[in-house]
Amino acid sequence: MAQELLTLTGAAGSFSPFQLAAMLGVFALLSMFVARVLSSKFPGSKPPIFEGTPFVGGLMKFAGGPWRLMEEGYAKLGDAFTVPVAHKRVTFLIGPDVAPHFFKATDEELSQTEVYNFNVPTFGKGVVYDVDQKTRTEQFRFFTEALKKDRLAKYVPQFVAEAESYFSRWDESGVVDLKEEFARLVALTAARTLLGREIREQLFDEVADLLHDLDDGMRPISVFFPYLPTSYHKKRDQARAGLGRIFAKVIQARRASSKKEEDVLQQFCDARYQNVCGGRQLTEDEITGLLIAVLFAGQHTSSITSAWTGYEMVSSKTRGPKSPYHAAVAEQQAILKKHGSALNFDVLGEMETLHLNIQEALRMHPPLLLVMRYVKQPFSVTTSQGKTYNIPVGDILAASPNFAHMLPTVFKDPAVYEPARFLPPREEDKAKPFSYLGFGGGRHACIGQNFAYLQIKSIWSVMLRNFDFEMLDPVPAPDYDSMVIGPKPARIRYTRRKLAA
Ligand code: HEM
């Protein structure tokens, strides 16, 4: 889910605006009709429209890339503006003045179902965006329970073991692309901690292939037409069914055994609904769906954030001995001295410098370009320019962590990698709520935030202790063509330390 929120992002990358216009043209008239009905129902000033020619104008703007669209729209019209895209009105709310309602609203006021339900064929029936709000709330409770502190403490040794084993295979020195390396490593840690020991140890390759087909079946066009009969959608559906069969066997064996594993799969096997579904256990297919949802939310987001952290941190080395990179290495040395080589939940908790490096990398490069909601009850926003606008029912709302994090009115020198900005007195504390949106915020803030930090800190602790790094390229540009915004390829050199740092 989190990773797939970029619905309209990728749309720009893979087909021309004219093709898109043709595909969706049938909705144009409907859109005008709906817009007219809505505006007569909710009189008052709506946000200004940002487009060239109606209908195609908005599409053209999206096709040029949401980033450029936001840049132009924000410069011309301020924090709130609407872009008609095909048959929909997409209203951008940019910056902390207009963000609060987006993040705080109840699901009855602003809904996720309408904007995220293209995930249904990927996650499967009966879970997340295919169920009513009450059932979804219970399913999210299963996530929350599987990711709370006492559970997280048990995942840390598994992160560390995977990272140590992975980097033990690196040479004395070499050149790598961090995005590729972390995609592989995080798939392994996710398999172990989320999908379970059986998958990690016996079925990894088979499951990885199916997950690849599932991933590949999530194309920009799937956002608009998730059931379009294409070859990649067919493969997606076969992969989903295949995963269902594999997990059914694993779950049956788990439930028949008295042994309890330390992973998210075990939590789901043991969980029961409380206020819905008659208090029953989850079905095997629901468990499969929830595991896929968690994987889609957490895997690419975490691996990409690990890569950005590395690129920004190591690039800062040229700033000299006080650079964020040197500070992170010094922190590892101090902690090694204090605790020996142990890497556990409490020790990771002491790594404030590494934490700030990750937090700042996520400020500069949040993997989710847009998060969205569907307006079910009208509301109003007042912009930083003091203008009040009414937002009508039926609008799709879009907030952009990336764009908001680059506002100089919110973060000083936003293009500079400066982890110390989060030290007391933190800019963030002085800033308005919902200024930092790396993990979203409010009612639907990321449930996996602590899991992600622990995973990324485990990986980078192992790396900084064992290797020195040097960038061979500048910090790479973001690749806006992918569903989760990661870095374009870049080379980094590692050299094994003679003794651990
Ligand atoms: C929601 C980012 C890792 C599970 C979100 C949202 C963001 C986000 C921005 C809010 C979406 C919205 O408002 O519509 C990230 C980033 C991660 C990360 C940047 C890594 C660096 C994870 C992990 C998991 C996870 C590791 C699970 C293991 C979830 C779930 C939600 C969510 C279940 C939905 C919460 C809800 O709708 O109530 N994430 N996430 N995320 N994330 Fe993450």
174 φ/ψ angles, rounded to the nearest 5 degrees: 180, 175
Q: Where are the domains of the chain?
A: 2-496
Q: For residue range 300-319, list pLDDT tens digits in order.
A: 999 999 999 999 999 999 99
Residue 456 CA: nearest ligand 1 atom is: 21
Selection from 265, 4, 52, 350 nearest residue 342 by Cα: 350
Neighbours of 461 (CB within 10 A): 24
Q: How far is the CA of 2 from the centre of ligand 1 (A)?
A: 5
pLDDT of residue 432: 87
Q: Indicate the SS3 state at residue 392.
A: coil
What is the Rg, in whole angstroms, of the alpha carbon atoms belonging to the chain?
A: 23
pLDDT of residue 60: 57
Selection from 89, 6, 27 nearest residue 396 by Cα: 89
Query: Which CATH number applies to 2-496?
Result: 1.10.630.10
What is the CB < 6 Å shell around ligand 1?
Answer: 1-2, 5, 140, 143, 147, 294, 297-298, 301-302, 305, 362, 366-368, 371, 438-440, 444, 446-448, 451-452
Can you name the residues that pair with 467 across neighbouring β-strands? Answer: 496
pLDDT of residue 482: 72
> For tokens 């064996």, what's the residue?
253
Q: Is the ipTM of this complex over 0.90?
A: yes
With residue 85 as reference, give the H or E element that holds it.
strand 80-85
Contact 90, 395 (CB under 8 A): yes
Selection from 243, 247, 188 nearest residue 455 by Cα: 188
Q: For residue range 4-51, list pLDDT tens digits in order.
A: 433 333 333 343 333 333 344 333 333 444 444 444 444 459 999 887
Q: Between 53 and 28, whose confidence is greater?
A: 53
Question: According to the annotation, is 269 in a ligand binding site?
Answer: no
**Omega of the bond leading into 425 within 30 degrees of 0 (cis):** yes
- Pairing between strand 478-479 and 486-487? antiparallel
Q: For residue range 161-185, list pLDDT tens digits in order.
A: 999 999 999 999 999 999 999 999 9
